[in-house]
Structures are given as structure tokens and as C-alpha cells.
Chains A and B, each alone.
Chain A
Amino acid sequence: MNDKLRHLDDEQLLLSLYGAAGPEAAHLGSCPECAARLRRLEARRAAWLAAPAPPPNAARLRDQRAAVYAAIGEKRNRPYWRLIQAGALACSVLAAVLLYRPAPAPVETASQPVITDQELFNDVADMMNRETPIAAEPLMALFAPQESQESQQP
């Protein structure tokens, strides 16, 4: 009842603007003054929303993509790493077993992995020396050329 006679305060008006007003917003239907305040606010907000926001810095976006692709490359590489790590672990466990037993069983020797320690270490060293994960290399080349234009969407 009282709300009918009382103008909306700014906070109530803002909530009306955002579509989150309570029952007190019914006042707008019977008060031209408050309705006009809301319309002014809506117009200002509409103009603000329609104004194009400045596009983010292109170099910054490119760096972000590069980081994403690098992370993707690393993830892709992981199975390879795990294989190597598993191989190394298997070798050392087997070696420990072999060393511990006075007489190694011929069956076990036959099942040794084909990769030698030297090859394994070479592989690991090779990978460690790479600046870029193998799987990411094809991607990296694509960042070198000019940036394609990026339009922003409203």
C-alpha cells in the first residue's frame, strides 16, 4: 500500500534495471516519474552495452594460445614419457632381482626389454635437451607468422 506512494530508491531502480526487483517494482506501473528514471537508466545501459569494447591485445591473446598449444603438446607427450619411465622402472627392478639372486633364471633373462640402458638414457637426454615438446613442434611454427585478425564479438 505504502509502496504505491513511495518512489523507488536508486537501489530498487537498479534491481529493476537488472530484472531482479521485488514486488515494490509494481510502483513503476503507476508512477510516471519513476518509470521515466528507469527508462533513462535503460537507455544509458543500452548505449553502454552497444558500444564496442576495445579488443584485447592481440599479442597477449597469441601468447595465451601458444601456452595452450604447448600444454596440449606436453600432455600428448606424456604417454611416451610414461613408457620410458615404466621401462626404466622395469629395468631397474629386473636388475635388482637379477643382482639379488645368485643364479638368475633363464626365463627371466629372455623377457628383458629390447631397449638398452644406453639407448634409454640417450632418448631421455635427447628429450631433455629439446626446448619444445615433440608434439608441440608442428604447432609452434604457426605462431611465427603474422597474426590473423581477431574480431571480437559483442
Chain B
Amino acid sequence: MAEPLAAAGAATRPSDFSGWMLAEQPRIFRLCQRMLGDSDEAGSATQDVFLKAYQAWDRTAAELDDPSRWVTRIAVNTCLDRLRSRRWQFWRKRPDGPDEEIILAMAPAREPDGEAQVFAGQIARRLAEALDQLSPRQRAVFTLRHFEDYALEEIASQLGLDVGTVKAHLARAIAKLREELKDLYGMSRGERS
């Protein structure tokens, strides 16, 4: 429903912006959660994203054929900035447990049987830690591909990279995650020794 800003007196953009934010916010918040692994920080990032979007709304919105794509890009860049700045932090809050379902996709040779369920809590924690081991770009690529199901070309466009680089980041991310989590699932059944 139409929300807020119309009352603030500014001409045309407000009501558009409010309704648009209302519709996009859950998706953007979830994206930030997955990128950052921490709900509080994701909330703060989401606020940044929509404030930036608002500031650019007048001069940008009219030319946008895909505002969702545009705000996704703002969100990805905002989260990348935050991930990079973490390197300078001495402490970090414990990440929330992300989706342990991911471990199932990381372990194609295994069925999601009882064993996986028993250790679901441990898996979530371990996965959060493993995701923290990725570089900001690797994490961004992996998040957009795995969680958001973006095409590689779209990820390349969002991050300003070429597709080959995106593939390389994705491959490194997967290798690193599997290495970090290898004790949680059976190792490769491939013949590669």
C-alpha cells in the first residue's frame, strides 16, 4: 500500500519511492543477510542501500528500465564495502547461522539423511565460518549464484567483471568452502586421486 513520503511535501518521487522500497526491502534485506552473515549489520546495510537509492532516485529512476537490478547493484556494492572494511576490524560479532541447506548442495554424493540433520546446528555454524573465509568478491559471487540464482552474465554485470573472472571467483569459492567443510561430508567420489 502507498506509504509515507508523499506527506513530506516533495513533489513526485516520494510515493513512488516508498511503495517501491516496501516491495524491494525484504529481498534486499535477505541479500544483505546472505552477503554479510549478520542480521544486525544486514539491517544497517539495508538502510544504507535505500538511503543511497533515495538520493539517486530523482536523477536515476527515470532512466531505469529495471530498478530491481539497480538496487541489487547498490546492495551488492554496499555489502562489498562492509566486507572489505571488516579486514580492519579487530573483533567481529558471531554471524547468524545461515542456511544449512547449502551443505547439502555442497555434498552431491550424499543424501540429506539423518546424520546431516543431527549436525544441522553445527553445520550452520561451520558454514558461517567458512563463508567468512571467502574474499569479499568470492562471497559476493557465490551468494549471487547460489542463493539468488543469478546467471553468471548477470553477476558479471552487477560486479563490473567479465564472465571468466566470475567463474574463477566461483570456482575458488567452492574449492575453499569444500576445503573448510570437508570433514562434514564424504570426500569426492570422483576418480581424481
Chain A residues packing against B (C-beta within 8 Å): 6-15, 17-20, 37, 40-41, 44-45, 48-49, 53, 55-56, 60-61, 63-65, 67-69, 71-73, 75-76, 135-136, 138-139, 141-143, 148, 150, 152-153
Contact = CB atoms under 8 A, between A and B. Distances in A.
A153 B26 CA distance: 8
A73 B55 CA distance: 12
Contact of A61 (B29, B55, B192): B29
Contacts of B170: 15, 18, 20
Contacts of A6: 190-192
Contacts of B166: 20
Nearest to A67: B47
Given A60-B29, A150-B26, 6 more contacts: A20-B166, A63-B43, A64-B50, A68-B51, A135-B8, A153-B27
A57 B131 CA distance: 23
Given A19-B152, A138-B8, A71 B47 contact: yes
Given A7-B190, A63-B43, A64-B43, A48 B8 contact: no
A7 B189 CA distance: 9
Interface in B15-35: 21-23, 25-27, 29-30, 33
B118 interface: no
B43 A18 contact: no
Contacts of B51: 68, 71-72
B94 to A, nearest CB: 18
A142 B191 contact: no
User: How many B residues touch the partner, as a band?
Assistant: 35 or more
Interface stretch (B70-78, B81-89, B171-179): B171-179
Given A11-B175, A45-B105, A148-B22, A139 B189 contact: no
A68 B171 contact: no
B149 to A, nearest CB: 6
B121 interface: no
Tell me whether chain A's interface is mostly helix, strand or loop, or mixed: helix
B109 to A, nearest CB: 6
B162 interface: no
A9 B190 contact: yes
Contacts of A53: 30
Contacts of A45: 105
Nearest to A14: B174
A72 B9 CA distance: 12
Interface string B33-48: 1000001000100110
Nearest to B174: A14
B56 interface: no
Q: In the complex, which of the residues B1, B33, B54, B190 has the most CB atoms of chain A within 10 Å of its own CB atom?
A: B190
A63 B51 CA distance: 14
Contacts of A64: 25, 29, 43, 46-47, 50
A18 B25 contact: no
